[in-house]
Amino acid sequence: MKTVFAIAATAMIAAAPAFADPVQVKVAYPSAPNNAIYAQGFQAWSEEINKAAEGSIELKIFPGGVIGDNSNMYDRITTGATDIGFAVFGPVSSIFQRTNVGTLPFEAKNHREDALALWRLYEKGVITMEFGQVHPLAFVVFPGLVIHSKKQIHTMADMKGLKISVEGRVLSTLMPRLGATPISLQPNELFQSLQRGLVDAVPQGWPSVPTFHLNEVVNFHLEAPLGFNTGYVFMNKDSYAKLPAKGREVLDKFSGETYVRRLAAADDTMEAVGRDQTKALAGQTIAQLEPAEEARWKEAAAPVTEEWVKATPDGAKVLEAFRAEVLAVRNEK
């Protein structure tokens, strides 16, 4: 009988799942789940991780600012209110001074090379010291800034006196040099601020247009190489440390440069949707700077980069490394 029971017990243990209860991982998403970043970069990403984790961990997304929004997400992550969070760097740009290199005007040509260059700076230790409070999973760089406005803008003279929204130090420094008055706003405040006339224009990438319904309150869109809004996907350090080995292995596999590229692809989709939808609407105008005018804007913006270098620890070193990484990404096949 003892032998029979021993055999039965062994069979039961062998049949039992490796993980009785998966470790729950909360993922905070700051806005509505109505775009490609959410669908491709979070929903599908979480589903793939959950499947590969084989019951060791289970990611669950809380969208719509239920846990945190862009203004407080970093705090929500570091205090453990959420395990993983996604937000823009703007509200915490003073903490990530070196990382702000990704927002400088007239550097990267597109969001993909900007994001990959930033991630490689992190991996190589150039900006790593700024992330001691969190475990980075990826950086997000949103498609190039477009000035969405209520009036037509073709020259710097047209910028004079405009009240324009800004996120982060670089834009706050740049806009006065172009003649505009900067007003700090969070992304979820853009629509209402434009509607009420608190600002006249907002510099945002094309994905923000459908997300925040900007084409309902503006009708002119100037594509100018004024830099990028940058964002992050961070994990609470303790939450990461407590993951079971299998779960940590799977999360690592789906994070890093692989995840950066995934988010960039989602941005590609959103950029095309935002631009095409706007272009199809009556009364909407999309314009670009004339070459000579762009040169004037670039000249006006040059001191912003110079000031950033002086004000940032290791600024010259970080900028040189960033430019090298951008060029390397650009030259990749």
**169-221: per-residue pLDDT in tens?**
888 999 999 999 999 998 889 999 999 999 999 999 898 888 889 989 999 99
Q: In what order do the strands lie in the sheet with 201-204?
A: 181-184, 163-166, 201-204, 146-149, 220-223, 285-288
What pLDDT is stored for residue 3 in this prediction? 52
Distance CA 293, CA 138 (A): 36
What pLDDT is stored for residue 221 in this prediction? 97
What pLDDT is stored for residue 5 in this prediction? 45
Q: Tell me the domains of the chain and their CATH numbers.
A: 20-142+229-271 (3.40.190.170), 146-228+281-331 (3.40.190.170)
Q: What is the pTM of this model?
A: 0.85
pLDDT values of the chain reduced to their tens digit, one per residue, 333 residues: 445 444 444 444 444 445 569 999 999 999 889 889 999 999 999 999 999 999 999 999 999 999 999 999 999 999 999 999 999 998 999 999 999 999 999 999 999 999 999 999 999 999 999 999 999 999 999 998 899 999 999 999 999 999 999 987 888 999 999 999 999 998 889 999 999 999 999 999 898 888 889 989 999 999 988 989 899 999 999 999 999 999 999 999 999 999 999 999 999 999 999 999 999 999 999 999 999 999 999 999 999 999 999 999 999 999 999 999 999 999 996
Report the 10 Å Cβ neighbour count for 110.
19
